[in-house]
Amino acid sequence: MGADPLPMLAIAVVGVPLVLGGYIYLSERLLGRGARKANSATRAAFWLAPALVLLLVFLVYPIVTTIVLSFKDATSASWAGLSNYGYVFTDRNMLVVLRNNLLWLVFFTLVTLTLGLLIALLADRVKYEAVAKSLIFLPMAISFVAAGIIWKFMYDFQPGGAKQVGTLNALITTVAPGFKPVAWLFDTSTNNAALIVVGIWMWTGFAMVILSAGLKGIPVELLEAARIDGASELQVLSRVTLPLLGPTLIVVATTLIIDVLKIFDVVYVMTNGNLGTEVVANRMYKEMFNYHNYGRASAMAVLLLVVIAPVMILNVRRFRQGGSNA
Amino acid sequence: MKKSLTLLCVLLACSAFVFAAPAAKKITVLGVWGGQEADVFNDMCQAFTNKTGIQVEFEATRDLDAVITTRVEAGNPPDVSALTGPGKMIELAQKGKLVDLSTVLDMAEFNKDYAQGWKDLGSVNGKLYGIFGKAAVKGLVWYDPKALKAGGFDEPKAGWTWDDMIAECNKIIAAGKTPWAVGIESGSASGWVGTDWLENIFLRQNGPQKYQDWYNGKLSWTSPEMRKAWQTFGQIVADPKMAYGGAQYINATNFGNAAAPLFADPPQAYFHHQASFIQSFIQNQFPNAKPVADFNFVAFPTIDPKYSKAMEVAADLYVAFKSTPEVKAFMNYIASAEAQAFWAAGTGGLGTNRNVALTFYPDALTKRAASILNGTEIVVFDASDMMKSQMNNAFWSAVVSYVNKPSDLDSILADLEKVRLDAYK
């Protein structure tokens, strides 16, 4: 049976370096016969080819196929024109899905960035900086699925009068005994916010670490010069620190945006998209694996690609320009 | 250079060793079981391994539907899978992915051991693709006889009607208590508990023929029959006096904990609707509770007396993707009374093989459920599990939405109808 992992592993460990080494050796032998200078372009092409082939097979081919499938019907048997896109942008349930992604995009990104910046700034001034930052960063080490399960317990709901097991409701009912417990994940007025909070909890640490590093990169002389010139601390922050932190902020923001547009696990584990909490990636997963509607699933994948690609490009450009700043 | 050459030689020698190792006889099984159910399954497989020397490698996932789909599409299916209902089997069989079990099983033995109903449920276009492992009787109402007595309420009797039930509930409400405990949360399958309610109501209002039309996608979700079933369900879940904790508690509570309010002191509720399998959950959670004395069940109340004999069941079924000698041995073992007795003794799972002796069942309640299963005149399968997965998924979610806001019934049913038209084109 082909699924036995051990021989496969052995082939991968021994075979792949062997083949690549052989390829390089052969191409060098081939090129070595000609003049060295003349075929530098050819040499580059030979060296690039394996990477390009991998890119073609694992990136370009799937993208093109997905785009083609998005114009076909559920079973990819015949062309469906724009009907899959029509569904994505007009179906009543899909509009809720798109609204939710927008909610995530705005609130997750803004709050995570603000909190990350605030904590980075505050931690910069205290002695126990390392401890504080480690604590905030800790959730990053937890998988989304585990975080979802942890927060499911945090949000647990029992009716008023009964013993509250959920941390949040227990806290509320202890502090304000008259207050009615809230079914955070099942009340349509709180459930999206409850999910976004989990995302924020996980990613604030990431924003904080990068921003904190950016903060350390700002020369102390600049800050001191501003202070000597009579700038108040708030002025130092708004006129010196923040402008210098600009490129870093943009890198963090774009990373968060790319991340949030693909959000899936938290929703999948905590509500499975019920009661108006579904997001594009969850819907795509259902259309693909539960409903076998490849057309619609592909259309949603293309939608995500089109939205994320410009942000990615921006991010890569930033990295290239301001490697030293960011 | 010399060093790396040596390294290469060592690596090659290692790989030669790996390739030369003889492949152990084994099969892979994909299913949904975890916890106690996985233990019982592994015990059952251990007995098989002891007998045949064939190892059984079990892999579990809670999202079986999606995992099976990906693996089949990728050309890497397991040898055998334990599905939760015939819907997925029908889909896979129609795509030609499954092994015709008549070429695998000892059919003379199989025909002797299994009722025609199970054979029909496991067949697609006259060919047998699935054998049912363990079954559960659905549509049972659980209660604590002592609590009812202490509150001055009557113990429900077999053959009680929906109106009797409502009258009893009103008595409980009048005494300042709550009659029902309902909980429908179940991860990515949240809502299925409510589909069981609706199926039992629909079956008892409209009979098995209409019921079959329904799961075959031939009945409109906006039909008056359908609407009436939902409204009947609403008498319980849409009335905060009827169900403990109200709508949000129902949606937030996992089905496995849903019976707990019955056993609180003082009881927070008196009735709980769930299939026979819930007994093992109750006993795990309340180890001191004794079957019959501390908790008991009665069949779902009759609505239309014409259909009082119908019973809903659900069962896991095994399908095979490959037809190797190992798979043949395993499938024949799974179908045997010997294998099914493990489920009977371990989790109270009801045998589908009629030779699973009643002595294997651990207590009087499970025995009663098993004899109900063997003696029922009209057996119908869980309707949502028979539907196409798109319909089934939408049905689950619709129940969650309905519990949250019953006044949305019209738009919820209209949405389901749209899915039906799409799925059963």
Query: What is the DSSP secondary-structure string of B205-266?
Result: HHHHHHHHHHHTT-S-TTSHHHHHHHHHHHHHHT-TTTBTTHHHHHHHSBGGGTTGGGGSSS
Question: Which residue of chain A comes nearest to B387, CA vs CA?
Answer: A291
Q: What is the pLDDT of residue A98?
A: 96
Closest CA to A212 of A128, A133, A323: A133
CA distance B28 to chain A (A): 10
Q: Classify B271 as helix, strand or coil.
A: strand
Q: What is the 3-state secondary structure (H, E, C) of chain A?
A: CCCCHHHHHHHHHHHHHHHHHHHHHHHHHHHHCCCCCCCHHHHHHHHHHHHHHHHHHHHHHHHHHHHHHCCECCCCCCECCCHHHHHHHHCHHHHHHHHHHHHHHHHHHHHHHHHHHHHHHHHCCCCCHHHHHHHHHHHHHCCHHHHHHHHHHHCCCCCCCCCCCCHHHHHHHHHCCCCCCCCCCCCCCCHHHHHHHHHHHHHHHHHHHHHHHHHHCCCHHHHHHHHHCCCCHHHHHHHHHHHHHHHHHHHHHHHHHHHHHCCCHHHHHHCCCCCCCCCHHHHHHHHHHHCCCHHHHHHHHHHHHHHHHHHHHHHHHHHHHCCCCC
pLDDT at residue B101 is higher than 90: yes
Is residue B271's pLDDT more than 80? yes
B188 in contact with A, Cβ within 8 Å: yes
Mean pLDDT (whole number) for B182-207: 94
Residue A3 has what pLDDT?
52
CATH class of the domain at B140-311+384-423: alpha beta
- Highest-pLDDT range among B112-121, B369-378, B405-414: B405-414
Q: For the residues B30-51, what does the mean pLDDT come to? A: 92
> Cβ of A183 and B248 within 8 Å?
yes
In chain B, residues with a C-beta closer than 8 Å to the C-beta of A180 are: none
Chain A positions with Cβ closer than 8 Å to B:
1, 3-4, 6-7, 10-11, 13-14, 18, 92-93, 156-159, 162, 183, 185-188, 268-269, 272-275, 285-286, 289-293
Mutate to test the interface with B, among A84, A168, A292 (most CBs of B within 10 A): A292
B22 has a pLDDT exceeding 90: no
Q: A159 and B249 in contact by Cβ < 8 A? A: yes
The Cα of B1 is separated from the nearest Cα of chain A by a number of Å equal to 13
User: What pTM was computed for the model?
Assistant: 0.86
What pLDDT, on a 0 to 100 scale, did the predictor assign at position A79?
95
Do the domains B140-311+384-423 and B26-136+314-374 match in fold? yes
Q: Which residues 6+ apart lie within 8 Å of B284 measured at CB?
A: B36
Nearest-by-CA chain B residue for A265: B188
At the second CATH level, the architecture of B26-136+314-374 is: 3-Layer(aba) Sandwich (3.40)
**Which segments in chain A show pLDDT lower than 70?**
1-4, 33-39, 322-326
Classify B161 in phi/psi space as left (phi over 0), alpha (psi -120 to 50) or beta. Answer: beta
For residue B46, what is the enclosing H or E element?
Answer: helix B35-52
Give contacts of B57 with chain A, Cβ < 8 Å: none
B206 contact partners, CB below 8 Å, separation of at least 6: B225, B229, B304, B307
Q: What is the C-alpha to C-alpha distance for residues B30 and B32, in angstroms, rounded to an integer?
A: 7
pLDDT of residue B127: 95
Q: Are B262 and B295 in contact (CB under 8 A)?
A: yes
At residue A125, the pLDDT reads 87
The conformation of residue B105, written as its DSSP 8-state character, comes to: S
For A155, name the nearest residue in chain B, comparing CA atoms only.
B252
Lookup: tokens for B125: 């276009």
Mean pLDDT on B354-371:
87
Q: Which CATH number fits domain A83-321: 1.10.3720.10, 1.10.287.10, 3.40.120.10, 3.40.50.620?
A: 1.10.3720.10
Contact assessment for residue B331 and residue B324, using Cβ atoms and an 8 Å cutoff: no
Amino acid identity, residue A128?
Y
Tell me the pLDDT tens digit for each residue of B2-17. Answer: 555 555 555 555 454 4
The angle, 0 to 180 degrees and rounded to 10, between the axes of the packed helices B337-347 and B325-335 is 60
Look at B249 and A183 and tell me if their CB atoms are within 8 Å: yes
Cα-only R_g, chain B? 24
pLDDT in tens, B368-401: 998 888 877 778 899 998 998 889 999 999 999 9
- Chain A hits for B70, Cβ within 8 Å: 289
Interface-testing mutation among A13, A187, A291, A293, with chain B (most B C-beta atoms within 10 A): A291
- Considering chain B, what percentage of its residues have pLDDT values greater than 70? 94
Considering chain B, what percentage of its residues have pLDDT values greater than 90?
Answer: 70
Contact check, Cβ <8 Å, B400/A274: yes
Q: How far apart are CA B190 and CA B324, in angstroms?
A: 37
Does residue B266 have a cis peptide bond before it, meaning omega lies within 30 degrees of 0? yes
All structural domains of chain B with their residue ranges: 26-136+314-374, 140-311+384-423
Q: Indicate the domain borders of chain A.
A: 5-69, 83-321
